[in-house]
């Protein structure tokens, strides 16, 4: 079966049938070619609903979980989004299909360089890259940015991400896996009137968030 057909089936079987209704998210998943972000040894499993290894003890996340987290953010065309954990660049591409600008941080240089090259090949021009500690967000990076409309964290954190929340704009949302190393809940933080409201959503398991405010 062609990758295009597999992509369509993945969206129907693993996203729409499980309650993903955000048309922006669904259309992004239909457009982005996941096979471009998967290593050759895992190509046969490109559109399975499972995480896949990308090396360095990191994974390209399960499509349903990616779609769920993006849906919680209520992404809009005008949004400036901070992504913590570039990884393969697959989620970065999905975000870039929807929003105005994506700012992505990855601590592993090899992964960032590979993702950057793949995203360039795919023609994306609204993505900015930073190598460093993702728990610090976009501090001391170019272009200069102090606030983001949405923030998405792609690794499990042991605590509330205070530094990232300080970079969240008024009315913005942040989604993060939070808990212990082997088990987390998806937490959605929303900033309203200068206060941060916390919502506990679904259970999940992510690789550890490494950094000053992580593990």
Active site residues: 61
Interior angle at CA 101, CA 74 and CA 87, nearest 5: 85
Q: Round to whole Å and give the CA distance between 20 and 158.
A: 27
- Largest interatomic CA distance in the chain: 51
The reply to whether omega before 159 is within 30° of 0 (cis) is no
| CA 24 to chain CA centroid, nearest Å | 15
Q: Are 115 and 92 in contact (CB under 8 A)?
A: yes
CA–CA gap between residue 53 and residue 215 (Å, rounded): 21
* Cα(23)–Cα(62) distance, integer angstroms: 19
Task: In whole angstroms, give the CA distance from residue 15 to residue 127.
Answer: 25
Pair 42, 62: CB distance under 8 Å: no
- For residue 7, what are its two tokens? 């992509």
């Amino acid at each position: 079966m062609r990758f295009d057909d597999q992509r369509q089936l993945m969206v129907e079987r693993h996203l729409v049938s499980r309650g993903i209704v955000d048309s922006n998210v669904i259309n992004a998943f239909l457009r982005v070619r996941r096979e471009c972000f998967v290593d050759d040894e895992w190509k046969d499993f490109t559109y399975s609903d499972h995480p896949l290894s990308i090396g360095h003890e990191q994974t390209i996340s399960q499509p349903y979980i990616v779609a769920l987290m993006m849906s919680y953010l209520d992404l809009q065309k005008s949004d400036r989004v901070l992504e913590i954990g570039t990884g393969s660049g697959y989620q970065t591409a999905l975000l870039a299909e929807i929003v105005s600008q994506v700012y992505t941080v990855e601590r592993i240089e090899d992964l960032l360089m590979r993702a950057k090259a793949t995203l360039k090949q795919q023609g994306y021009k609204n993505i900015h890259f930073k190598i460093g500690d993702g728990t610090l967000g976009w501090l001391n990076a170019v272009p200069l940015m102090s606030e983001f409309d949405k923030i998405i964290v792609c690794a499990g954190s042991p605590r509330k991400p205070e530094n990232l929340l300080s970079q969240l704009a008024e009315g913005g949302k942040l989604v993060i896996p939070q808990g212990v190393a082997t088990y987390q809940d998806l937490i959605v933080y929303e900033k309203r009137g200068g206060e941060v409201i916390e919502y506990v959503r679904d259970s999940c398991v992510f690789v550890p968030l490494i950094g000053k405010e992580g593990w």
